[in-house]
Structure 1
């Protein structure tokens, strides 16, 4: 059809359709062009123009009907699928395959193969291990079996897979280095701030073996463990890791990994961030040179008495961006603006030849969160007192049993005939003193808001460990050979 005012007309293909109320109507399906422009192409012959337009409409109608055409499949209910013949395959790995391709893992494997003597397909084994760890995490044997359900099943043997683990362990540093470089092609890495933390993984064995040592397990397990140190970039993406004996002091794990990051990853200028357990003086000193600085959690509970009293003193606080001094006792924490504001104060800390700054922050919102968590733990402790579980000693800072006090003597100092269990009110009061407060130590000179935000993101490295241990089921570790 031709629509529009004379001199400004358009040629359209229209489509008939039925409305919801059952009545028929028409709508524009496709615009063929301006009438005057098309008329010039046909030397002013309107009949030829309309004949051409009708043919175009016929083509569009045919294409439209083909899209709506029903496809019939023939099915023979008597036909049998041959025994042991696979007809259903998992294809979810194809999405991961694209990412592996963008990370150029094939090039990494090709470089590794050039200085190793093996005949199996190392690239296929590595990528299959990646797919199964994400899609169906399990032991290497179970992973190998799962891979046979993929659209492209393995052409290598189970023994080849185990042999490849030794190569993976040997080339771990090279693979990490190359993945970091290649990942920049997908998403530019933000290495301005690097976060570091440690965790451990246990083995279901009864005796120490190699680097599998008895140590302080994060899960309070009695099994031998190994320690993993992990660097993470400012976007929450893992950067580099290494494995250490389970009984090694975590403070000592930082230096070898950081040297590797500086040398092999070409990351020499960054802000280092970690928790207090990994931010000892030697590690802070390490990050005081070469355009590096640090922001490290500073334990309020482990401060000397005089310093702790200064830190918790409610005066001399400020709001970032303002020099007005605030007394925390005057705050109306029911005011949403006050509730969501972070207050801070700072003071110098001189230890030996290091000039540092301690920043104390106070958040009414964080205070309410800590109080809520503790009140729930107190309720659980009350229930434990009424049960046989009251004799259990609290093992950690989140164990409600830490609030249960046992009294075994009378007020006269005589030995009691039975133990008395009650809430430890002094312990509860002591913990509530720290509600809302947080501290960091830094040698960074800059906007206080930036320093606060740097430390706030530290939770993401804990999230990395949580994902590895839960979604990726990285514990317990089944492969026990140190070279694998």
Structure 2
């Protein structure tokens, strides 16, 4: 509501008017109430014109409050005509699930970041609109950049930019990749304190549906065992499983060399200098241990027992010296039962490598031992059938291939050539059984409790889940863009989408699975009713209540007027 005045030769009149958009999309207004002329109002609300205007504005405020209260309980009547056809090209269905990731996006102040980037470049398109839509699409309906642009047309706030602007924006995002990562980490602390005391690191790779190497797309060891060129990604997450930083590197590069450049960037740009580095054995090279033994940093890494020096391996496989983790009491290995599924046993061995004094913690889990034995027995049965049927293939390199239990004898006792004889290698089976249930962790933390060290190491499952979400739920591969800068921008968008999702998941109290959250977001849609407002098409559930509570707005009303929907959109962008 606002104050409207009209003047004539003999009088000045005051009205309260209300603006609205008519059926043709044109803004107009209507008189709600006539307050009177200046001459009529002066005796009671004077003595000056300013006093009258002040009173009129107060009436506008009161009328506005009254209107808002009425809208909360107002029933809506809309007339439909059975004989009236639909208008041509009239959009009725809108996607609204993006509103919830949008509240996280603006909480991370990515809109401010886009304005900062614009000051460093010369372009006319809306980078904030493009980046936000690409992130929302990666969460809600992951697809190519072209399809994402088309899908964004069905958002409650459709884009004004063009498709070619999207591809131009990718080059800008790639150039500003480091700045965006460091600023987003700092801004994420406004949404809750980050647990940067422990940083987990791992690598994965993403394939391209092409046959020729080009740029960073190189032939390497694919996680999916695909014969396609790949690009590799190194990812840091914090102790709560929330992404911290990432880098990309060629598919033929050793992943161990990817750690130092990315961690150096964290040390210099992120303000993190005291943390525990945690990784699996593949990224626990001596060089990486040395790097994380410097300054205020420490490391907790998985150690392969099979790759230990002979004397250390003998100590690790020795059944003496185990303690029960729950009460720290010594136990005889022979007394450990297979049904102690919830118990964990450990022993410590002093260990030195690269002039670093370390602790080698060997754990034994009866549950894990039973699992490994069950899997191996199945593989041995398959190997026995392969020997019997003669169905053997050459160059089988999979470490879990049953063929590893098959030996061959190709010479006679006199050393003469003979037919190849295949047999079940019982010695190999017995050797593998020695490692059942055993797991090793190495650390330079010499005084910390074993339970605390193992708890940190167990948290590595979170980074595996991050890669699973990125690859499966966000469909980060195959990658369809080809230029190296646009590939980097693609992974930046995947990274920001993962960060956005993880923060939203945390705001929900980590009560729901990824599948439950994404399903709820993807079903939050609306139908536009005769240009008057929107009707939700989704079912109200406990998870939708929690989403609204976490993000500070509600969309689960029976009917939402156009003005109310605009208010909801504004609320989703508040920091």
TM-score band by shorter chain is 0.7 to 0.9
User: Does residue 1:467 correspond to 2:469, yes or no?
Assistant: yes
Displacement of 1:378 in angstroms is 4.5
What residue in structure 2 maps to residue 363 of structure 1? 365
SS in 2 for 1:429: helix
What residue in structure 2 maps to residue 52 of structure 1? none
**Closer, same or farther in 2 for the Cα pair 1:200/1:83, shift >3 Å?**
same
- Give per-residue Cα distances to partners, 1:407-430, cap 9 Å, x unaligned: 4748767543xx776655444333
Query: What is the alpha-carbon distance in structure 2 between the residues aligned to residue 384 and residue 155 of structure 1?
Result: 63
2:249 to 244, 248, 255: 244
What residue in structure 2 maps to residue 181 of structure 1? 186
What residue in structure 1 maps to residue 259 of structure 2? 254
Query: What is the alpha-carbon distance in structure 1 between the residues aligned to residue 388 and residue 323 of structure 2?
Result: 46
What residue in structure 1 maps to residue 134 of structure 2? 129
Displacement of 1:72 in angstroms is 5.7
* TM-score, structure 2 as length reference: 0.67
What residue in structure 1 maps to residue 235 of structure 2? 230
Query: What is the alpha-carbon distance in structure 2 between the residues aligned to residue 385 and residue 172 of structure 1?
Result: 54
- Give per-residue Cα distances to partners, 1:70-111, cap 9 Å, x unaligned: 866533233222333211111111111111111111111111
What residue in structure 1 maps to residue 480 of structure 2? 478
Displacement of 1:385 in angstroms is 6.7
- What does 1:355-394 align with in structure 2 at a 5 Å threshold? 355-378=357-380, 390-391=392-393, 394=396
- What does 1:39-54 align with in structure 2 at a 5 Å threshold? none
What residue in structure 2 maps to residue 77 of structure 1? 82
What residue in structure 1 maps to residue 149 of structure 2? 144
User: Does residue 1:447 correspond to 2:452, yes or no?
Assistant: no
Contact kept, 8 Å, 2:372 with 2:436, in 1: the verdict is yes
Contact kept, 8 Å, 2:196 with 2:275, in 1: the verdict is yes
SS in 2 for 1:465: helix
Contact kept, 8 Å, 1:204 with 1:223, in 2: the verdict is yes
- Give per-residue Cα distances to partners, 1:194-238, cap 9 Å, x unaligned: 011111111122221112111122222222111111111000111
RMSD: 2.6
What residue in structure 1 maps to residue 222 of structure 2? 217
Contact kept, 8 Å, 1:395 with 1:402, in 2: the verdict is no
2:170 to 162, 165, 169: 165
Query: What is the alpha-carbon distance in structure 1 between the residues aligned to residue 484 and residue 217 of structure 2?
Result: 9
User: Does residue 1:430 correspond to 2:443, yes or no?
Assistant: no
Contact kept, 8 Å, 1:390 with 1:421, in 2: the verdict is no
Query: What is the alpha-carbon distance in structure 2 between the residues aligned to residue 392 and residue 72 of structure 1?
Result: 76
1:292 to 289, 297, 300: 297
What residue in structure 1 maps to residue 195 of structure 2? 190
What residue in structure 2 maps to residue 301 of structure 1? 306
* TM-score, structure 1 as length reference: 0.79
Displacement of 1:181 in angstroms is 1.2
Q: Structure 2: 5+ residue runs without aligned partners?
A: 1-68, 487-575
Contact kept, 8 Å, 1:228 with 1:241, in 2: the verdict is yes
Contact kept, 8 Å, 1:197 with 1:275, in 2: the verdict is yes
1:354 to 353, 356, 362: 356
What residue in structure 1 maps to residue 556 of structure 2? none
Aligned residues: 413
SS in 2 for 1:164: helix
What residue in structure 2 maps to residue 14 of structure 1? none
What residue in structure 1 maps to residue 330 of structure 2? 325
Query: What is the alpha-carbon distance in structure 1 between the residues aligned to residue 323 and residue 235 of structure 2?
Result: 35
**Closer, same or farther in 2 for the Cα pair 1:272/1:428, shift >3 Å?**
same
What residue in structure 1 maps to residue 66 of structure 2? none
SS in 2 for 1:180: helix
Contact kept, 8 Å, 1:196 with 1:273, in 2: the verdict is yes
Displacement of 1:384 in angstroms is 6.4
Contact kept, 8 Å, 2:363 with 2:438, in 1: the verdict is yes
- Give per-residue Cα distances to partners, 1:263-286, cap 9 Å, x unaligned: 111110001111111111111111
Displacement of 1:372 in angstroms is 3.1
SS in 1 for 2:196: coil
Higher relative contact order (CA 8 A, sep 6+): 2
SS in 2 for 1:132: helix
What residue in structure 2 maps to residue 28 of structure 1? none
What residue in structure 2 maps to residue 109 of structure 1? 114
SS in 2 for 1:470: helix
SS in 1 for 2:441: strand
**Closer, same or farther in 2 for the Cα pair 1:157/1:351, shift >3 Å?**
same
Query: What is the alpha-carbon distance in structure 2 between the residues aligned to residue 231 and residue 293 of structure 1?
Result: 15
Contact kept, 8 Å, 1:404 with 1:421, in 2: the verdict is no
**Closer, same or farther in 2 for the Cα pair 1:268/1:81, shift >3 Å?**
same
SS in 2 for 1:339: coil
Displacement of 1:250 in angstroms is 1.1
Query: What is the alpha-carbon distance in structure 2 between the residues aligned to residue 339 and residue 169 of structure 1?
Result: 49
- Give per-residue Cα distances to partners, 1:111-152, cap 9 Å, x unaligned: 111111111010000010001111111111111111112122
Query: What is the alpha-carbon distance in structure 1 between the residues aligned to residue 75 and residue 246 of structure 2?
Result: 55
Displacement of 1:300 in angstroms is 0.8
Query: What is the alpha-carbon distance in structure 2 between the residues aligned to residue 380 and residue 137 of structure 1?
Result: 40
2:125 to 120, 123, 126: 120
Query: What is the alpha-carbon distance in structure 2 between the residues aligned to residue 89 and residue 383 of structure 1?
Result: 58
Query: What is the alpha-carbon distance in structure 1 between the residues aligned to residue 396 and residue 136 of structure 2?
Result: 40
